[in-house]
């Protein structure tokens, strides 16, 4: 996840992301076309999961700092939050295509 991403793929995907889960300590964004999910915890830990056949499998794990995580959790529908999630999702989706 990169809150300052300039990746055009992430910018293009961001408006299409949906939120699958929004609880006080976590949020999950989903690419509705591929089913790839980016889940962010309040701790700043995040994971990206993608479908392999019909099973969701972890693909990437990382961390953002606590202040950034708080910002994203506070407003997961914001452009900045969806672009950050999209940044992680497009990278996984690109590798999954190969």
Of 4-18, 29-43, 47-61, the poorest mean pLDDT is in 47-61
User: Has residue 27 got a pLDDT over 60?
Assistant: yes
Q: Which residue(s) pair with 63 in the sheet?
A: 45
pTM: 0.89
- Separation in Å, CA 98 to CA 9, 43, 46, 51, 95: 17, 32, 23, 14, 5
- How sure is the predictor about 97, in pLDDT bands with cuts at 50, 70 and 90? low
- Do 45 and 66 form a contact (C-beta atoms < 8 A)? no
CA 14 to CA 44: how far, in whole Å? 20
């Amino acid at each position: 996840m990169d809150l300052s991403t300039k990746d055009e793929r992430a910018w293009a995907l961001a408006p299409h992301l949906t939120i699958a889960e929004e609880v006080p300590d976590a949020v999950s964004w989903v690419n509705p076309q591929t089913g790839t999910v980016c889940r962010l915890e309040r701790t700043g830990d995040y994971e990206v999961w993608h479908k392999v056949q019909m099973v969701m499998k972890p693909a990437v794990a990382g961390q953002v700092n606590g202040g950034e995580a708080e910002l994203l959790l506070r407003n997961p529908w914001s452009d900045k939050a969806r672009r950050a999630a999209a940044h992680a999702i497009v990278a996984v989706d690109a590798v999954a295509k190969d």
